[in-house]
Amino acid sequence: MTLKRRFVLGCSVVSMVGALTGCAVSQKQPFRMSFVPPAIMPAGPSGEITEPPLDIAPGFLDRETPKFLGSNPDIPLRLTELDNRLRRAEERFQSGKRLLAEGDADGARREFDRAIDLLLSTSEATPERQRMERKFEDLVESIHRYDMEALGGGEPDRLLTFEKSPLDEILELTFPIDPRLKNKVKEEVRATVSQLPLEVRDPVLSYINYFSSERGKRTIMAGLRRAGRYRPLISRILDEEGVPQELIQLAQAESGFMPRAISRKAATGMWQFVQFRGREYGLFQSAYHDDRLDPEKATRAAARHLRDLYQQFGDWYLAMAAYNCGPLCVERAVQRTGYADFWELRGRNVLPRETSNYVPAILAMIIVIKNAKDYGVEGVEPDAPLEYDTIELRASTNVALIADAADRPVSLIREMNPSLLKNLAPAGYQLHVPKGMASYVTAALEMVPQTQRNAWRMHRVGEGEALPAIARRFGASVSSILGANRGLADQPEPGDLIVIPATLRPEPRTVARKGAPVRRPAAARASASNSKRLAATAARKPAGKTAVSGKKTGGTVRVAQTSSSKRPAAARN
């Protein structure tokens, strides 16, 4: 390149820089690096400013990335095939939800089927396959919940049901003792770490023999599975209250970790409190709620009650016995005999029969579970822990409105709040909502006047939904919806969350125990053909993992009812 051409090119570059910066250079300025801040010049001995030496480490900008090469939020990232597939599956799912709300169950199930198909047809080699499988499991569970509600399982007039306490069946029975067990169990106990003292007595061996049977194993394994939902919560509270961790098995024996368990004596909840004892520990009841059914509150009350009983009797076995029959009963037995020892009281027949079997049954459960492999109860996959945030309701609020605000099925809100007896949560109620959604639900509820939260609803507008159709679905008028939503256009935009002035629906009046005649949704009355449907669904799952497994409830496999399609939309895990 000639000197002249170099000079012209240099002038052009300078002109371009000047034009871009918009600054006119009136005189020659010393060169400065724009990304290094100007330093304060130190003063010399005579006060003059001296220029410091340039002390910059070599290569200090080697790791810097020019801005124009970095990420730019204005440039859309290219979605992967999996991202597109997940997005399309979610769109199908949302479409199915809208169709269900409009009463088109067949159309909804077709959309649900398509959502599942999109995930099941994902290639085995797809990166982040675990993300797809998590979405698949979430989608199956959500479809089941919405489908069950459409079939009647979530209707407001559904009867409230309670589960039977497992203790009602086993504490009145006696079981034989296997003489071969004694030495084996003693060796296991010697090698077992336990905060609670474990003693091997004949009554304990009797119940270990029972829990080693097929029926007993089913009881243990069902409890272990359900315990997964509450174990982290219970373990934390027992630790905070200074109670041995092994006493979590009281909840196994009392209720099988079922929050709505009820005994013949009307003891209620996971920890089986009667009303007066529950009130002593802050578990209150009203026409709308019963704190004994709240797993967290009931666990806190049970831990404090057990701690108080231990402080009273100085022995965990007597504390457990008093938990079952009451402290006054144990106190009188101690006074009559002069022995503050459970085994002495049991041997002298001064305790109720149920209580005499209660402590050995608990100890047997602890030993079997701590040595699960030896008794064939290992490998149980526990339910996922139930995680939630808690908010306090400022006004009486319809459960359906809460579900609208959280964008979750009503059944999930009920499951998170088993202490609710009706479809109306009273003011001051400590409401559990999905984890991470407390502020979102609170803000959404604030859109509804407090005096109307017992009846009004909310709805997120879907693609192509018109206001008249939304009004018909909720039994409201277009004018009332426009009046309740200031600034709402006649045709709302997709994604808008709008308030629906609705009429309060009547509350259920009947509370039924499990075993009584109760109207059940069609899906819970599924016939033997459900097994074929489950097999068909499992066949659609990619190799390496079963798509859906049926869960038996009361001897019936509960699955979502399907349309005329050969393959079901989903089945409950």
Residue-wise pLDDT for 429-450, tens only, equals 999 999 999 999 999 999 999 9
Instruction: Compute how many other C-beta atoms are within 10 angstroms of the C-beta atom of residue 36.
Output: 9
Task: Report d(CA 497, CA 561) in Å as an integer.
Answer: 30
Chain position carrying tokens 């009145």: 172
Grouping H, G, I as helix, E, B as strand and the rest as coil, residue 398 is: strand
Task: Report d(CA 410, CA 446) in Å as an integer.
Answer: 19
Percent of the chain surpassing pLDDT 70: 66
**203 and 341 together in one domain:** yes
What is the mean predicted confidence (pLDDT) over 295-303?
97
Annotate 87-120 with b (16+ C-beta within 10 A) or e (fewer): eebebbbbbbbbbbbeeebebbbbbbbbbbebbb
**323 and 431 together in one domain:** no
**246 and 226 together in one domain:** yes
| Final residue of a structural domain among 347, 375, 403 | 375
pLDDT tens column, 267-292:
899 999 999 999 999 999 999 999 99
Annotate 322-356 with b (16+ C-beta within 10 A) or e (fewer): bbbbbbebbeebbeeeeebebeebbeeebbbebbb
In a domain, 158, yes or no: no
Give me the pLDDT at residue 165, please. Answer: 59
User: What CATH code is carried by the domain that includes residue 261?
Assistant: 1.10.530.10
Give me the pLDDT at residue 99, please. Answer: 74
Q: Concatenate the DSSP letters of all residues of 442-508 into one string.
A: HHHHTTS-GGGTTT-EEEEPPTT--HHHHHHHHT--HHHHHHHSTT--SSPPTT-EEEE--PPPPPP
Q: Is the pLDDT of residue 413 over 80?
A: yes
User: What phi-psi label fits residue 433: left (phi over 0), alpha (psi between -120 and 50 degrees) or beta?
Assistant: beta
Number of folded domains in the chain?
3
Give me the pLDDT at residue 54, please. Answer: 46
Compute φ and ψ for 17, nearest 5 degrees: -60, -40
Lowest-confidence pick of 45-49, 72-76, 239-243, 527-531 = 527-531
Q: Which pLDDT band, with edges at 50, 70 and 90, does 360 fall under?
A: very high
Between residues 301 and 143, which one has the greater pLDDT?
301
**222 and 119 together in one domain:** no
The tokens of 505 are what? 């629906």
pLDDT tens column, 140-175:
767 766 665 554 444 443 434 455 656 666 776 677
pLDDT tens column, 460-496:
988 888 899 899 888 899 999 999 998 887 788 888 8
SS3 content of the chain, % helix, strand, coil (to 5): 50, 10, 45
**494 and 532 together in one domain:** no
Q: Is the pLDDT of residue 350 over 70?
A: yes
Task: Report d(CA 145, CA 149) in Å as an integer.
Answer: 6
Give me the pLDDT at residue 47, please. Answer: 45
In a domain, 6, yes or no: no
Between residues 558 and 499, which one has the greater pLDDT?
499
Give me the pLDDT at residue 173, please. Answer: 66
**310 and 195 together in one domain:** yes
Instruction: Give residue 411's Cα distance to chain centre.
Output: 12
Give me the pLDDT at residue 178, please. Answer: 79
Give me the pLDDT at residue 455, please. Answer: 94
Task: Report d(CA 328, CA 410) in Å as an integer.
Answer: 43
Lowest-confidence pick of 7-11, 124-128, 314-318, 480-484 = 7-11
**399 and 364 together in one domain:** no
In a domain, 28, yes or no: no
**434 and 353 together in one domain:** no
DSSP 374: G
In a domain, 511, yes or no: no
Domain extent, residue 411, equals 389-500
**149 and 168 together in one domain:** no
Between residues 461 and 52, which one has the greater pLDDT?
461
Percent of the chain surpassing pLDDT 90: 46
In a domain, 420, yes or no: yes
What is the mean predicted confidence (pLDDT) over 83-109?
76
Between residues 402 and 517, which one has the greater pLDDT?
402
Q: Are strands 430-434 and 388-392 parallel, antiparallel or unpaired?
A: antiparallel
User: What CATH code is carried by the domain that includes residue 458?
Assistant: 3.10.350.10
Give me the pLDDT at residue 502, please. Answer: 87
Task: Report whether 322 contacts 330 (CB < 8 A).
Answer: yes
In a domain, 59, yes or no: no
Contact residues for 19 (Cβ-Cβ < 8 A; gap 6+): none
Q: Is the pLDDT of residue 61 over 60?
A: no
CA contacts within 13 A on the Cβ side of 55 = 4
**171 and 146 together in one domain:** no
35-40: long-range contacts, CB 8 A cutoff, minimum separation 24: none
**179 and 320 together in one domain:** yes
Q: Is the pLDDT of residue 55 over 70?
A: no
In a domain, 414, yes or no: yes
Instruction: Compute how many other C-beta atoms are within 10 angstroms of the C-beta atom of residue 507.
Output: 13
User: What phi-psi label fits residue 470: left (phi over 0), alpha (psi between -120 and 50 degrees) or beta?
Assistant: alpha
The type of residue at 97 is K
| Final residue of a structural domain among 375, 404, 433 | 375
**258 and 134 together in one domain:** no
Task: Report d(CA 79, CA 325) in Å as an integer.
Answer: 63
| Final residue of a structural domain among 437, 469, 500 | 500
Q: What is the mean pLDDT of the chain?
A: 75
In a domain, 380, yes or no: no
Q: Is the pLDDT of residue 499 over 50?
A: yes
